[in-house]
Amino acid sequence: MLSKIKIKTARHKKLRNLLIFVAVIIFISSILFIPAINVLSIKNRKKLSERFYSAKGYNCGFIISYTHSVNKGRVHDYYRLAKKNQMELYQTQFVSYGAGIPESEETFGAVFSIKDDGYFISNLNRMIPLLTMAIGTIADHSIVFGQKLGGDAEELFFTDYFAPQTSVNLEMMRVSLAEYIFHKIY
pLDDT of residue 2: 47
Gap between the Cα atoms of 76 and 39, Å rounded: 21
Gap between the Cα atoms of 52 and 48, Å rounded: 10
Gap between the Cα atoms of 113 and 174, Å rounded: 36
Q: For residue range 76-106, list pLDDT tens digits in order.
A: 999 999 999 999 999 999 988 766 666 777 7
Query: Is the pLDDT assigned to residue 164 strictly greater than 90?
Result: yes
Query: Is the pLDDT assigned to residue 16 strictly greater than 60?
Result: yes
Gap between the Cα atoms of 185 and 155, Å rounded: 12
In the chain, the percentage of residues whose pLDDT exceeds 70 is: 92
In three-state form (DSSP H/G/I as H, E/B as E, the rest C), the secondary structure along the chain is CHHHHHHHHHHHHHHHHHHHHHHHHHHHHHHHHCCCEEEEEEEECCCCCCEEEEHHHHHHCEEEEEECCCCCCEEEEEEEECHHHCEEEEEEEECCCCCCCCCHHHCCCCEEEEECCEEEEEEEEEEECCEEEECCCCCCCEEEECCCCCCCCCEEEHHHCCCCCCEEEEEEEEECHHHHHHHECC
Each domain of the chain, given as residue ranges in start order, spans: 1-33, 37-183
Gap between the Cα atoms of 64 and 62, Å rounded: 7
Q: For residue range 99-151, list pLDDT tens digits in order.
A: 666 677 778 889 999 999 899 999 999 999 999 999 988 999 999 999 887 77
More confident of the two residues 97 and 174: 174
Mean predicted confidence (pLDDT) in 29-40: 93
pLDDT of residue 100: 66
Confidence bin at 4 (pLDDT 50/70/90): low
Q: Is the pTM of this model over 0.75?
A: yes
Q: For residue range 52-77, list pLDDT tens digits in order.
A: 999 999 999 999 999 988 888 999 99
